[in-house]
Amino acid sequence: MENTLGTLLHSPLIGPRREQFAPGLRVTFHATYAIYYLPTGQDLIVVRVLHGSRDAIAIAEHGGFIQ
Predicted local distance difference test score (pLDDT) of residue 14: 95
Predicted local distance difference test score (pLDDT) of residue 66: 80
Predicted local distance difference test score (pLDDT) of residue 42: 84
Q: What is the pLDDT of residues 6-57, one digit of tens each?
A: 999 999 999 999 999 999 999 999 999 999 999 998 889 999 999 989 999 9
Domains of the chain and CATH, by start: 2-61 (3.30.2310.20)
Q: Which residues of 38-56 are buried (b: 16+ CB within 10 A; e: fewer)?
A: bbeeeebeebbebeeeeeb
C-alpha to C-alpha distances, 9 to 6, 33, 42, 47, nearest whole angstrom: 5, 18, 8, 15
Predicted local distance difference test score (pLDDT) of residue 35: 97
Predicted local distance difference test score (pLDDT) of residue 67: 64
Structure letter (DSSP) for residue 19: T
